[in-house]
Amino acid sequence: MNVHSPGRDAPAALDQVLRTGPFHLALRTAIEARGLALHRVRHRLAQRGIHIGVTSLSYWQQGARRPARAESLRAVRALEEVLGLPPESLLRLLAPAGGGGQERPASRSYQTLFADSAVLRVLLAELGSPPDGGLHTLDHWERVRIGPGRQLLTRSSQQAVRAHRDGVDRYLAIHHGDPGCTPGRVRVRADENCRVGRVRWSAGTAIVVTELLFDTRLRSGETHVFGYTFEDGTGGACQEYVRGFSFGGGRYVLQVGFDAGQLPVRCHSFARTSAAARPSGAQELPLSGVNRTVHLVRADAGPGILGIGWEWP
């Protein structure tokens, strides 16, 4: 087998992601650069005495699982050889961030969480977003308000985050409006411990990405609490609200409030492993008649998608 140097032959993107991570994106980029299907990767690993399934390889490159056990780390070392990568180039991305700092939790690529991921990728690139924003959520309270026209009026978030690398000073908040949304009219308000920076949006997909700037640079392991609100009201009838989590492990509380003159007849919570997956784990949710709200609580959310859906009369 001819082993090529990624510094000479692989796309520049591979060089970059091998330096910055995260692991799953580096692995996926390396496999794509070599033009190998996962079953061929599995076969070449088997030739070296490493037996691992295509499903596990798929989970690793999606960020749904991280290799941690000794036999898995041996497989990663063999993958470096199979893919013609420098020794330790993948293994070091599995080490705790910052050399003994905060360990990055299990993650999943944002591309699996958004149906319009190609557009989102362009917007994030305009804001100079690295593959891994360097933050994962510890606690997230979100309040959504539905208006008298059945439209999403506002969504407010209060988040506690932890940095898993040094130098993080911002958070990129993503809003995906309902059909009919006019993203140019969506407004973003910084409520606490942040300020609004650059804003990018796509009219065709109703996606708005906002840069929320902190007044401090976080070191690995440090935490930050901040709040912000998207003011929309431009879309059509809203029938569900979903939140995608690139990283797992945090607590998530979602509350949806309805106008007194427009109450749904049925509400339920659900989960999805990706934007393209079918909903699973549906549970009926009681609607509070007094407060006209419905909510869900997940102690260990993500990676993946959580949401509340409802039916209008």
pTM of the model: 0.67
CA angle 108, 302, 116 (to 5 degrees): 55
pLDDT digits (tens, 9 = 90+) for 265-302: 999 999 988 888 888 888 999 998 788 999 999 988 87
Asked which of 57-66, 192-201, 210-219 is least confident by mean pLDDT, the reply is 57-66
Residue 5: the pLDDT is 39
Q: How many CA atoms lie within 13 A of 152 on its CB side?
A: 30
Q: Which domains does the chain have, with CATH numbers?
A: 12-95 (1.10.260), 110-311 (2.60.40)
Write the DSSP symbol of residue 134. S
* C-alpha closest to that of 261 among 165, 149, 101, 171: 149
Q: What is the DSSP string of 206-269?
A: TEEEEEEEEEEEEPTT-EEEEEEEEE---SS---EEEEEESB-SEEEEEEEE--TT---SEEEE
Higher-confidence position of 218 and 8: 218
Terminal alpha carbon distance of the chain: 64
Q: Which amino acid is at 87?
A: P
Residue 263: the pLDDT is 96
Q: How many CB atoms lie within 10 A of CB 26?
A: 25
User: pLDDT category, 103, cuts 50, 70, 90?
Assistant: low
Q: Which amino acid is at 278?
A: R
pLDDT score of 104 more than 70:
no
- Give every CB contact of residue 206 below 8 A, 6+ residues apart in sequence: 176, 177, 178, 179, 181, 182, 183, 235
Q: Going by DSSP bridges, is the β-strand pair 240-245/223-231 parallel, antiparallel, or unpaired?
A: unpaired
Residue 58: the pLDDT is 85
- Are residues 267 and 309 in contact, defined by beta-carbon separation less than 8 angstroms? yes
pLDDT score of 8 more than 50:
no
Q: What is the mean pLDDT of residues 223-252?
A: 92
Higher-confidence position of 75 and 68: 75
pLDDT digits (tens, 9 = 90+) for 292-309: 999 999 988 878 899 999
Q: Which amino acid is at 313?
A: P
pLDDT digits (tens, 9 = 90+) for 154-172: 999 999 998 888 889 999 9
User: Per residue in 147-166, is it b (16+ CB within 10 Å) or e — as a string?
Assistant: beebbbbbbbbbbebbbbbb
